[in-house]
Amino acid sequence: MNWILLIIGGLFETGFAISLGKAQHSSGREVWLWLITFAICVSISMFLLFKAMGGDKPIPVGTAYAVWGAIGAVGTVIMGILLFKEPITFWRMFFLSTLVISVVGLQVVSSEG
């Protein structure tokens, strides 16, 4: 259950990053709506990260934060490509994949200990 909470929290991290981007591209009242969305997403994301690190089978803080951050980073890059027409370059995808590989590797070595 904690892993599900962590994954959902990571998705809300993507939500708060994208909300900031949308606020930058907005004006007037729409800016405030995006900032409210940001506040809601960051609150939910942090709460779910907190919950994932507790309970019966807590996820260690280092692993939880790395996975949460990676989900948010990967989701933000993907949404940036889809919503903001950010470029898809070889190096961008290369380093994004090394991030994912590193987090998976961290999980593998963490569970061995």
Per residue in 28-51, pLDDT tens? 999 999 999 999 999 999 999 999
> pTM for the complete prediction?
0.87
How many domains are contained in the chain?
1
Helices (H), the chain: 2-24, 29-52, 61-84, 90-112
Task: State the average pLDDT over residues 59-73.
Answer: 93
Three-state DSSP state, 86: coil
Q: What is the pLDDT of residue 55?
A: 85
- What is the rounded distance in angstroms from the CA atom of residue 84 to the CA atom of residue 80? 5
* Domain range enclosing 75: 2-112
Q: What is the pLDDT of residue 112?
A: 59
